[in-house]
Structure 1
Amino acid sequence: MFVMIGSEADKLSKGLFKDALNLIWLENINNGKLMIKQLKCKGWSNTYIWTPRQATQFKFSGLFPRFQFCNRPLFPLPVFAVAANNLFMLKNPLTKTVDFHGYEKSMVEEVGRDMGFQVRLIYSELGEINGSAALGLVHSGKAEMTLGFLSLTLLRSKHFAFSYPHEDTVIGMFMQRPNPLKKWLAMVWPLDNLTWLAIVANILLFTVAFWLWLGPWNTSIFSAFGVVLSFLLKKGLTGYHLNGRIRSHKTRLFLLGWMTAVFFLKIWYRSTLRAVLISPWQHTQPETFEDVLQMKPDVYLFGGGAADQFISNLDVPVFKELRNSPGYKRIAFQELGQTIELVQNDPSTFLINGIMSNYKQTMNQVFNAQNVVQKIYSYESKQILHSTSNTILASVKKELNG
């Protein structure tokens, strides 16, 4: 399911998305109401209109079950843009920034819970990554916003969507939860230094326990252990005797093994387990955007509006490296003039224009990371402006099928 907000969806919805996989259109009405429509089986249906008061109280769990596309399951890829600012975000009038509290945060988290996705919102400075909390600030019109967001998406996701408006906005991203087996494997491998230390300590303590089990009865260290354990466990349980001995071999081994396990788990939690629970995607976050690019991920960039041209036009080494990375692919939802400019400035753009009705086929190919369409659709300005939709569509289909 593709969720688009505002004029972008309006342009693409006029008979151009009749083959769309799923589309939900959120449009801000002039009187402050939010209109939600769904493209269903080649026609609009399930139209809802909320007032701001209703919008702050709705839950996606009640909305999505009603959105069924020809009895097919929904796959959400939300795009949040300026149209929902007044409903889902709290803007600070003094700093002209957006505080990620309240409506937007709860809405995004609700979607994540309902659809089985984990959600991250980011606050970014140049190259900084912060995905540990769903709070932050994004300043309007700053290249740092683009850079930081891409660093997070490059690292953590192959399937994402976003939209840059002309004003402050939230940038939301949805990722599938990791496979449980992979998540548990990630807890123990690769091992960091503290985990190795915990393993060594565990071996040493079990060695001591084994020595105490087999060792001499009259050692002073054993008497000390017996006195301490007897005091802690109020005698009785250990078979503690007046001479300071613990008579039960099994009890000795159990108690010392239990103490060892607690010690090991404490170190394990402080090192690996806690990090995994906070961020199951990685152990160590890269410090710079260059660190992310070294991972050579597949990048699918969904953009629109003037801010999207940060990546295309700015003569920044990091952006150049991004554009030249093997997995990079831009998917541009643009007006014709903007699209022409984007394609000319960034020849790696994979053009998906409002004139394509084979959207379902195209997106299926784009989201198949093993078989991404490698064609570059670059049309001359005159050709786009003076050609009909059918002509360009036939050209695109020919390239897709060829």
Structure 2
Amino acid sequence: MKIKNGNVATPIGFQAGGMHSGLKRKRKDLGWLYSQVPAVSAAVYTTNQFQAAPLKVTQESLAFSPFLQGVIINSGNANACTGEVGIQNAFLMRKWFAEQVNLQEYEVAVCSTGVIGEQLPMDKIKSGITQIPKVDEIHHAEGFSEAILTTDTFVKHACVSLFIDDRYVTIGGTAKGSGMIHPNMATMLGFITTDAKINPSSLQQALKMTVNETFNMITVDGDTSTNDMVLIMANGLAGNQELSESHPEWPVFLEGLKEICTSLAKQIARDGEGATKLVEAHVYGAKSSIDAKIISKSIIGSNLVKAAIFGEDANWGRIVNAIGYSGVIVNPDLLTVSLGEIKVVENGLPAPFSEVEAKQYLQSETIQIFVDLGEGHGAATAWGCDLSYDYVKINASYRT
């Protein structure tokens, strides 16, 4: 069951907050997430070779112990490509926050997002952290979600309630992402909390599998960031029996986790820099699910497809072109393509359709592209957005 207005602090025992510390001119730029008890935690990180300093510090925390109790994050500065000084600054963020909330340093994860190649203004970071109030009394998830934003135009929340072991279990999440969004994870920041009790190794596998089906199936601009990750914390306060692959209701938890990640992924795609439309590419009839994933990503990643959708032009040739260069071997004579319910290609040939009706459909905020390859049972869905004039405007002046 979806929880309306639920968020990352809705599960039992979680608090969150955000504040303005001076890294940005006006907007909140320092956020924190806190669990009342140590929480089993897992993360998936960027595939970019230039991995930012905060990720390395978070990885060290989780390598020491799979239990975290706090997260400190700043926006406005990525602390990436900052050398040894950047590493030490990330460790200082961890140390200062741990002292402020009375935790061990290894119980804290650190994240940063923003401009690459600039050292953090540590005086402002320290001043902000020392002003954080008693975290176990603060429930301001909206402030946390605002503090992690960069070029995003809205905060992103998701929350569901499950019934496991005759108890209600809650999963909540928030994310940021608008640009530098491309498959292979780590193109955004995602924070997921749950009051479920879960086996550590099972949680890591569940996160990895779910990320591959959700966050790894979105793209905005083909760029993969240096900083981003998805982090999940499970504090066990719901009182269920420990979940693992052998638990009879494990699929229920997996479905809930997938619902959260899918919702957040779609919100990120919809909030692509300058985007006016969410684009969904549904591919089925493939020889395998891997083939379907590759083709769906190829479609939503095509700048020509994205530009045509922005211009509300039913140029199906661009979709066919993206399928053709995806690297997957297909039979062109079996291909069917539809824009919503409007069939534009059938058995590899143009299908008669009304240009007026197609243009009217392309004026919708959500555009669905359906591709039937007619060769098997493999299926996948990928999410993206259109490509507008504003994308260039936003990224041409990002540092200023």
TM-score category by the smaller chain?
under 0.3
Larger radius of gyration: 1
Which structure is higher in helix share?
A: 1
Report 1 or 2 for greater relative contact order, CA contacts < 8 Å, sequence distance ≥ 6.
2
Q: Which has the higher strand share?
A: 2
Using structure 2 for the length normalisation, give the TM-score. 0.24
